[in-house]
Chains A and B, each alone.
Chain A
Amino acid sequence: MNDKPHLDEEALAELRDVMEDEFDILIQTYISDSRERIQALHQALSDNDPDAFAKTAHSFKGSSINIGAARLGELCLVIEKAGRDGALADARQRMTDLEAEFAIVRRLMEESLLA
């Protein structure tokens, strides 16, 4: 169902080129922002607030796509839609997949920083 790469190496290389010295900061920022967003998604679920859920998912989607985490971006789109449709139960189920994918992305990124 989702055959996009975990991390688009080409996109990441481009970013490294564009960001120069700031590449590390960018990756760190993305990782910490994403953590905050996952927390915010959980919060929205427990507040039963589909609107806040969808908005956070939307932002998460944007930055994930931008940074080359294509598969994570796709997952964000799925839960954004669920949130917008008010299908929070459905969304809740997807959260596990999303968090797992984020763990992979994060690991790949940290490896890339060390490389």
Chain B
Amino acid sequence: MTDPDNPRPLRLLIADDSSTDRLILQAILRRQGHEVQAAEDGQAALQLYHRWQPDMVLLDVMMPRMDGMEAARQIKALAGETLVPVIFLTSLSDAGSLAQCLEAGGDDFLPKPYNPVIIRAKLWAFDRMRRMQETLARQRDLIHMRNQQLLDEQVTARRVFDNIAHTGCLDAPNIRYHASPMSVFNGDILFACPRPAGGMHLLVGDFTGHGLPAAIGALPVAEIFYGMTSKGFSGPDVLRELNQKLVRILPTGMFCCATFAEVDFRQGVVRVWNGGLPDGYLMDIDGTCHSLVSRHLPLGVLGPERFAAPMEEYRAKPGDQLLLMTDGVLEATDAGGQHFGEQRLLQALATQPAHVSPVDHVIEQVQTFAGGGRESDDLTLLGLRMTSQDPVTKRSVPATQSALTGPAFWRCSYEVEGPTLGQFNPLPLLLHVCMAVAGLRQHSGEIYTLLAELYNNALEHGVLELPSAWKNSPEGFARYYAERERRLAVVEGHSIQFDLEHCLRDSGGRLIIRCRDSGQGFDPEAVTEPGERAYAGRGLALIRRLSSGLTYNKQGNQAEVVYDWELTEHGSGQT
């Protein structure tokens, strides 16, 4: 800090038409160590100000050509936001004139006769103020620059993030969502991805913390979620991997509250896992509303050995609405600091007009409540309407390499045995093997569906001997899946074996999938019409439709599917 007895030299501009006063002031200021330039009137002072850029200006009020007040006004205007203190030299004593000086931009007065002690004290005080203002302005500019930098970085980061998360199907016609464009930096995430065999996975999440740390966690989550879902992994598999990854990368105390939903449009099933987020809702078209309650710790808290990923199953009819959200909705506050809260949310859902998406309705209610809509930045909601058909049309992946490259003639056998049947889903692995054939990649969804149908038939009907007729009623549906869990847990002495075989043919290739289970089988002769027997549910009809042929062995415990694909002008297509 400067010491008043030993001030830093200042550049001082003085203006006074009285040469005596000028001489005296100049002498006083120079003796105090300052650099001084003197002018005889306001106009000359202004010119000197331009040329010399002094730190402070001392002005006589009454001067010819341009008086002190006008000079002060112009100097203040020129100085802009830099503080150039202007001190009036005056023997004026009436309050009105003094006030005029201040209105013109003057900062203080110095009375005549000049007193060196007072002059020194005033200059010191103003120098301190001037420097403080300088520091403040510098820091403000720095903060502004840093903030701009941060925003630029966020935009760039957002772009990178969008590239990773771009395969999502949030734009599907039956999905409505609300998220601020920069929501990822609030720690909120919102993903939707179609599954290869139809249906989709949804993930709504909320990282603890804000800004970059929260956004960084979102990147691996997006990558795992989209990567694994597209490869056909089930919800629990994806959840386990997400949890494991977050446990590894996030610092203690940071985690991700999340709701994960697996939606199967064909079977009319929604499976939900909620770890730490507010209740989601599944609203029947007839008005019943199921709360999807959090029953787990958030992702990134428990080690893999303690993490549980069972999903709760719900039947859902076309027209039913699924609504998932982060805590921004409940925590939206009104002017009085009151939270929107669960009661208002339930009220909003109860009064929701049929033709409006619950997402739009809730957002509207929250914005009305909060007043002005400024809270909407923190609101992340995802709504999905159940449909009878899969809403996502198959993505056409352009063939980036010749369909004929990669393995063409191969055979592989894979057998899952004993308790592994209850713990492991072999489908992504089998799909991966098939996808090594470039020509099959465009058909990953169909291949996955074939593998999945065969495997589920083998497991549920062949090994576990579950009657699919149960699935025709809501009560039976619950019973079916409860029984499936129970039997899977104790399955022993069983196995399911896949034999895959691929070869090239004229202008295309052929994949043969054989799936044999250790169950008792059934009489395939009896299955001629789809739907005729419980066993021949939609699964078989679907397989027939997708493939060139489906045959069973006599015992009814081995199915063989032939899948032909052909090269076309634009790539390849199935015959």
Q: Is the pairing of A and B real?
A: yes
Q: How far is the CA of A62 from the CA of B91 in the complex (A)?
A: 6
**Contact of B21 with A29 in the complex, beta carbons under 8 Å:** no
A61 within 8 A of B: yes
Counting CB contacts under 8 A, is A33 at the interface? yes
Q: Say how far A76's CB is from chain B's closest CB, in angstroms.
A: 9
**Residues of B close to A25: CB separation below 8 A:** 23
Interface residues of A in 25-57 (CB under 8 A from B): 25-26, 29-30, 33, 55
A22 proximity list for chain B (CB < 8 A): 23, 27
A29 touches B20 (CB 8 A): yes
Are A65 and B27 touching (Cβ within 8 A)?
no
Q: Which residues of A contact B60 (CB under 8 A)?
A: 62
Tell me the complex Cα distance, A63–B17, Å: 10
Question: Is B368 an interface residue, CB under 8 A from the partner?
Answer: no
What separation, in Å, do the CA atoms of A14 and B62 have in the docked complex? 26
Distance, CA A5 to CA B20, complexed state (A) = 20
- A residues 57-86 touching B (CB-CB < 8 Å): 58-59, 61-63, 65-68
Q: When each residue 458-487 of chain B gets 1 if its CB lies under 8 Å from chain A and 0 otherwise, what string results?
A: 000000000000000000000000000000
Task: Identify the stretch in B112-120, B245-253, B317-325, B390-398 within 8 Å (CB) of chain A at 4 or more residues.
Answer: B112-120
Query: A15 an interface residue at 8 Å Cβ cutoff?
Result: yes
Given A65-B91, A65-B113, A29:B19 Cβ within 8 A: yes
* Chain B, residue nearest A56 (CB): B62
Q: Which of A18, A33, A55 contacts B20 (CB 8 A)?
A: A33
Establish whether residues A62 and B112, one from each chain, have CB atoms under 8 Å apart when the complex forms.
Answer: yes
* Complex: chain A residue closest to B64, CB-CB: A55
Q: Who on chain B is nearest to A34 by CB?
A: B20
Chain B residue numbers with a CB within 8 Å of A26 are: 20, 23-24, 27
- Among A11, A30, A66, residue most surrounded by chain B Cβ atoms (within 10 Å): A66
**B: interface residue count bin:** 10 to 19
B116 touches A33 (CB 8 A): no
Task: Please indicate the chain B residues that have their CB under 8 angstroms from the CB of A67 in the complex.
Answer: 20, 24, 113
Per the bound structure, the CA–CA distance linking A76 and B23 in Å amounts to 21
Kindly state the separation between the CA atoms of A22 and B116 in the bound complex, as whole angstroms.
17
For the complex, what is the distance from the CA of A14 to the CA of B113, rounded to whole Å?
11
Question: In the bound complex, how far is the Cα of B28 from the Cα of A67, in angstroms?
Answer: 13
Q: How far is the CA of A13 from the CA of B23 in the complex (A)?
A: 16
How many A residues, CB 8 Å from partner?
Answer: 22
A37 to chain B, nearest CB (A): 9
Find chain B residues with CB under 8 A from A30 CB. 20
Cβ-defined contact, B27 with A59, below 8 A: no
Complex alpha-carbon distance, A75 and B23, angstroms: 23
The answer to whether B65 has its CB under 8 Å from any CB of chain A is no
Q: Which residues from chain A contact B355 at a C-beta distance below 8 Å?
A: none
In chain B, residues 6-38, which have Cβ atoms closer than 8 Å to a Cβ of chain A? 17-21, 23-24, 27-28, 31
Q: Are A18 and B62 in contact (CB under 8 A)?
A: no
A19 within 8 A of B: yes
How far, in angstroms, from A55 to B261 measured CA to CA in the complex? 88
In the assembled complex, the Cα of A25 lies from the Cα of B18 at a distance in Å of 14
A58 B24 Cβ-Cβ under 8 A: no
Residues of A within 8 A of B31 (CB): 18
What are 13 residue pairs bridging A and B, where the CB atoms are less than 8 Å apart in the complex? A15-B24, A18-B28, A19-B23, A20-B27, A22-B23, A22-B27, A30-B20, A61-B91, A62-B60, A62-B91, A66-B20, A67-B20, A68-B113
Q: Nearest 6 CB-CB pairs, A to B?
A: A63-B20, A30-B20, A63-B18, A62-B91, A66-B113, A66-B112
